Amino acid sequence: MRGRGASGADGGAAPARVVLICAIWAGIHSLLASRWAKDASARVAGARSRDGLHRVAYNAQSVATVAWAARWFVRLPDRELYVARPPWSWLFRAGQAGSLAVLFSGVRVVGVLEFAGLVPLWKALTDGESRPEPTAQGPPIGVDGEMRMSGAFRFTRHPGNLGALGFFLLWPRMTVNRATLAALVALYVVLGSMHEERRLRTAYGEAFERYREKVPFLIPRPPQD
């Protein structure tokens, strides 16, 4: 089946443009999540303002840059690779729904309002106790000093990244551009998760090492006692 831009030089340029768009997005995303950006915002606005505003501002720019990238992505010439028909397409959609469930399970454990940045923002606006954003995104530490193995964090150390990867891999209709995007997401997920592991190890030390021995890196399996 022939899709948009199936022939001609313009159609062949679409994967390169996907790479460019994703590289720009990933660069912005990684730069603003870096310690350098957090320290710079503290120097400019003060530590309290940084603690209250950084997460919500970061999430806002994430939504804006994703919308920008999606707008360009859907306008690119493309070519169809395959289409899964019912009942197989139902399995693909179920897999995407399950992937989103894994992602949101991880967010729920961290705390939806905390993840959205509304808790630190509220504290900053109401003169509540200010605290820096966690240096790494992972399950919170329990009262026993161990990382909480709850929700999807019982089966994978990076449920957010796993959920995103599953969603992009399981499109019932796969095109050249979508396949390129899925490959880039897979690369970003693996490299980003490895980087997050180093931050978690630095932040939580032995507690993270004990958690790492029980829960797999990315591909889920039942937790070990």
For the chain, give every domain's residue range. 9-214
* Residues 6 or more apart whose Cβ sits within 8 Å of residue 191: none
Crossing angle of helices 176-204 and 159-169, in 10° steps, is 170
Question: What DSSP element (H or E) covers 203?
Answer: helix 176-204
Q: 30-63 pLDDT, tens per residue?
A: 888 888 888 888 787 777 777 778 888 889 999 9
Q: 128-142 pLDDT, tens per residue?
A: 666 666 666 788 888
Instruction: Name the average pLDDT for the chain.
Output: 86
DSSP state of 130: -
Answer left, alpha or beta for residue 100, where phi above 0 means left and psi between -120 and 50 means alpha.
alpha
Q: What is the mean pLDDT of residues 5-32?
A: 77
Structure tokens given for 159: 């449920």
Nearest to 25 by CA among 78, 70, 74: 70
Model pTM score: 0.84
